[in-house]
Structure 1
Amino acid sequence: MRVLNRSNPTGDLALGVRVSGHDGQRPPVLLVHGMAGDHTTWRAFASALRRVGRQVISVDLRGHGRSGHAPTYLLDDFRDDLEFVLDELDIDVTDIVAHSLGAHTVLRLAMAIPDRVRRLVLEEVPPMPRDQGHVDEGIVVAASLGERVRGVGAAVRNPWPLIRFDRRVGAEVGRQFETPDPDWWARLDVVAASTLVISGGRRSFLPPRHLRTLCETLPAARFVEIDAGHSVHRDKPAEFAAAAGEFVQSS
């Protein structure tokens, strides 16, 4: 695990990054976890990518894993951290697979630097609320009972992500989803990456219809629904690997 130090007005921020494998012919695959996770959530999928010859870069978001706690957790902070990682590693173009908060972050990244993202897999990505009705659903911060139970099981097997997680992240991120942001939707048309949107189906607290709408709004996207709940890659790894792996491997 490497640590990259990003200078900020409030002090340096350590960002944990794991780089493995090598493929000089194709872009590396950047993996970005969801809230309260870390790079270890991708172990199985990263191994599968390496077996087919891909270089893999797994990042811990600020406030998670081996990365430092930070004074702010703005959605654009997470985005800017990832752009810093790409710059520090001299990566011009990348494929990205990301989950939940990480998926929202990389979508912002693809909006900011569209020429540097080739393929994009968005697993259970929470869109910004389009209007007050969307805000009132509370879909970002209210997980189902089943998802909470499955999350406890994962934490028992690997408690370190939860131990290292800065609890302030959840509250600060949640507040940013409490204001309608129709401009965010209007800017989606700048995304140049071919995109796969993966929904966890009705077992997830993110209604599939919202992810379908997001998919239809993006310029070059398709939609897959896997009935697994919010953490598809964790609870149905084979189905996830088949869909996401085939997508990033296609030319």
Structure 2
Amino acid sequence: MRSVDASAPDLAVDVSGCLTGQTPVVLVHGMGGDHTTWGPTVRTLRATCRPTVAVDLRGHGRSGRSDSYRLDDFAADIDRVVGGLKLARFDLVGHSLGAHAALRYAMTSPARVRRLVLEEVPPMPRDDADAAEDIAPTASFGERIRGFGALLANPGPFLRYDRALGEPVMTQFQTPDPQWWASLRNVSAPTLVVSGGARSFLPAHHLRSVAEALPNADFVRIEAGHSVHRDASPEFLSALLAHLDD
């Protein structure tokens, strides 16, 4: 575990492999998670000789807490991590809140992202009708049941994350932001948008809309719920590797 030398809050990352070899893969967890949620993904990428950088966002894992949890703050966390590690170009993979942060980062720093994978990325509402659907990145009852075993096996992320971040994050995801949709055209990386299908609280048609709004994106639906990489790991890893190696 390394700590990025930057202003508060301190950001922790887990680096696996040599960063001077193949293109590194930066992994960004969802809300309430941390770098450990990517364990099988890291092991699979390591087996293909890909170096990995698994981030703990502010308020999560071993990173510091903050008095600011704006969505742009989480994108800035990614920028600080890759800057601190001097990564000029890399592949970027995110889940849920982490996917949203990754997408915001790719909007503002498109030249640095070679390939982008967005698992269950929550979009901003375009208007009040979208906001009324309440698709902020929170776990439904079914998701909580499916995640209970994972919690028992690895309670650390849940115990460590800052509960204070929930309200400001949810409030932002309930605020219409048509400019966010317009900014999707800035993303130049070939992108894979992964939906968890009908078992997820995020309607698949919203994620397909994100894919259609991006300049160069594919859409895949894997019936697994919101945590595709956890609950359908073989299918997720197959889609991930195919996209990164394309």
What is the TM-score with the length of structure 2 in the denominator?
0.97
Q: Deviations over 1:95-132 (max 9, x none)?
A: 01110000000000000100000100000000000110
Are 2:208 and 2:219, in contact at CA under 8 Å, matched by a contact in 1? Answer: yes
Query: Which residue pairs with 2:200 in the alignment?
Result: 204
Query: Which residue pairs with 2:151 in the alignment?
Result: 155
Q: Counterparts of 1:156 and 1:209 in 2: how far apart (Å)?
A: 32
Q: Counterparts of 2:3 and 2:18 in 1: how far apart (Å)?
A: 19
Q: Which letter maps to 1:196?
A: L
**Is 2:35 the counterpart of 1:34?**
no
Q: Counterparts of 1:80 and 1:141 in 2: how far apart (Å)?
A: 19
Q: Counterparts of 2:141 and 2:77 in 1: how far apart (Å)?
A: 32
Q: Counterparts of 1:142 and 1:68 in 2: how far apart (Å)?
A: 22
- Return 5+ residue gaps in structure 2 as ranges: none
**Is 2:133 the counterpart of 1:137?**
yes
Query: Which residue pairs with 2:80 in the alignment?
Result: 84
Q: Counterparts of 1:143 and 1:95 in 2: how far apart (Å)?
A: 27
Among 66, 74, 90, which residue is 1:94 paired with?
A: 90
Query: Which residue pairs with 1:185 in the alignment?
Result: 181
Q: Which letter maps to 2:70?
A: L
Are 2:31 and 2:137, in contact at CA under 8 Å, matched by a contact in 1? Answer: no
Are 1:5 and 1:13, in contact at CA under 8 Å, matched by a contact in 2? Answer: no
- Return 5+ residue gaps in structure 1 as ranges: none
Give the secondary structure class of the aligned counterpart of 1:6. coil
Query: Which residue pairs with 1:56 in the alignment?
Result: 52
Give the secondary structure class of the aligned counterpart of 1:90. coil
Distance 1:23 1:79, change over 3 A: closer
**Is 2:203 the counterpart of 1:194?**
no
**Is 2:117 the counterpart of 1:121?**
yes
Query: Which residue pairs with 1:6 in the alignment?
Result: 6
Across the aligned residues of Structure 1 and Structure 2, the Cα RMSD in angstroms comes to 1.1
Query: Alpha-carbon deviation of 1:23?
Result: 6.0
Are 1:194 and 1:220, in contact at CA under 8 Å, matched by a contact in 2? Answer: yes
**Is the deviation greater in 16-25 or in 88-97?**
16-25
Query: Alpha-carbon deviation of 1:228?
Result: 0.1
Are 1:23 and 1:53, in contact at CA under 8 Å, matched by a contact in 2? Answer: no
Q: Counterparts of 2:46 and 2:139 in 1: how far apart (Å)?
A: 32
Q: Which letter maps to 1:36?
A: G
Q: Which letter maps to 1:3?
A: S
Q: Counterparts of 1:128 and 1:32 in 2: how far apart (Å)?
A: 19
Give the % identical residues.
54
Q: Which letter maps to 1:149?
A: I
Q: Counterparts of 2:81 and 2:176 in 1: how far apart (Å)?
A: 30
Query: Which residue pairs with 2:237 in the alignment?
Result: 241
Are 2:4 and 2:80, in contact at CA under 8 Å, matched by a contact in 1? Answer: no
Among 220, 228, 232, which residue is 2:216 paired with?
A: 220
Query: Alpha-carbon deviation of 1:141?
Result: 4.8
Give the secondary structure class of the aligned counterpart of 2:188. coil
Are 1:201 and 1:226, in contact at CA under 8 Å, matched by a contact in 2? Answer: yes
**Is the deviation greater in 219-228 or in 132-141?**
132-141
Q: Deviations over 1:42-65 (max 9, x none)?
A: 011101001111010000000000
Q: Counterparts of 2:121 and 2:66 in 1: how far apart (Å)?
A: 23
Give the secondary structure class of the aligned counterpart of 1:81. helix
Query: Alpha-carbon deviation of 1:25?
Result: 4.8
Distance 1:25 1:157, change over 3 A: closer
Q: Counterparts of 1:19 and 1:39 in 2: how far apart (Å)?
A: 10
Distance 1:138 1:168, change over 3 A: same
